[in-house]
Amino acid sequence: MNIKLTTPFLFISALLMSPAQAYWQGSWLIGASGSYGERSGDVDIQMVYTTNFVPVPLRTSYITEKYVDRGTIWGLFAGYQIRCNRFLVGLEANYDWDDMNNNAHDFAFLDTLAQTSVVVPPGNSYIATAQYERDPTFGVSFRFGYDVNPCFMPFIRIGGETSKDSLTLSFGGVPFLNSLSTTIKDSDRIYRLFGGVGAEISSILWRSTLLQPISFRVEYCVHAASDDAVEAVGMINDGTYSPLFVNKMKPVTHTGKISIVWNFI
């Protein structure tokens, strides 16, 4: 059995096997979060010359460019949680937005002709710019925790999320295509899984009754790459080489998060 599915199953089983006199308590919660994240992946480019000017074996070039963005992520969330003895099961919905969309990545590459030192027809070099952008993300997740003591609870999180992601690339030839260039942009609705571990620190022992519903969380999450890549397709129609560019990317995001929570207890 998959370990990701086994862990929640065992956790819920422990709840159900608790003594009959176990105390069950449910409550709502809302919160806000701030994170620092790194989004990384490969921009996979397939460039195909679409004219007969280039021999068939040398028409296609494959380029892989490493891509990394870093920045802050802000979020709001709400949910419902149930406690039984020291165990907790919760369901939460989150809405996040980030500022990792502002950085364009410049790079250069050679086509297959240039890499194989073919003289006729001459090979080409290209300059390019890539940018991956993500609209606000909506997610739903389960949280499973265990109270080590009244003030400290480690937990795990498993969930899924969706966002509209876009990929933009610009290509220009150097020097053969000089003034000719193209900019390609496309977007798609992306679905992916995420999971993480964290700890919640309760203020239940604070003397102030007003502050007792407040708790703080620290959390590390991995947002997996989607099965479907964002793909952008376009070409430079120069009448000689007329390169077609097929570009794909599906990044992974790692985040470290701090949250403040208001528990309706």
CB-CB neighbours of 45 under 10 Å: 23
pLDDT at 13 over 80: no
> Which residue, among 223, 219, 234, has the nearest Cα to 190 in the 3D structure?
223
- Tokens linked to 115: 């890499």
Residue 1, pLDDT score: 42
* Cα–Cα distance, 200 to 208 (Å, whole number): 19
Quote the percentage of the chain above a pLDDT of 90.
65
Residue 54, pLDDT score: 85
pLDDT tens-digit series, residues 26-43: 999 999 999 999 999 999
- Tokens linked to 145: 């925790």
pLDDT at 193 over 90: yes
Contact yes or no for 180/171 (Cβ under 8 A):
no
pLDDT tens-digit series, residues 52-103: 888 888 899 999 999 999 999 999 999 999 999 899 999 999 999 998 877 8
Q: Which domain holds residue 112?
A: 3-15+25-264
Least confident of 27-31, 174-178, 243-247: 174-178
Tell me: cis bond preceding 55? Omega within 30 of 0 counts.
no
pLDDT band at residue 2, thresholds of 50, 70 and 90?
A: very low
Residue 3, pLDDT score: 44
Q: Determine which helix (DSSP H) or strand (DSSP E) holds 209, and give its type and residue range.
A: none
Residue with tokens 């919660």: 29
* Cα–Cα distance, 265 to 262 (Å, whole number): 9
pLDDT at 176 over 60: no
pLDDT band at residue 174, thresholds of 50, 70 and 90?
A: low
Number of domains comprising the chain: 1
Across the range 157-165, mean pLDDT stands at 98
Residue 162, pLDDT score: 98
Residue 18, pLDDT score: 47
Q: Are strands 125-134 and 181-202 parallel, antiparallel or unpaired?
A: unpaired
Structural domain contains residue 20: no
Residue 101, pLDDT score: 72
CATH number of the domain where residue 137 is located: 2.40.160.20
pLDDT at 20 over 50: no
Amino acid in the structure at residue 199: A
Structural domain contains residue 241: yes
* Cα–Cα distance, 222 to 138 (Å, whole number): 15
pLDDT band at residue 8, thresholds of 50, 70 and 90?
A: low
- Tokens linked to 82: 């149930």
Across the range 112-132, mean pLDDT stands at 82
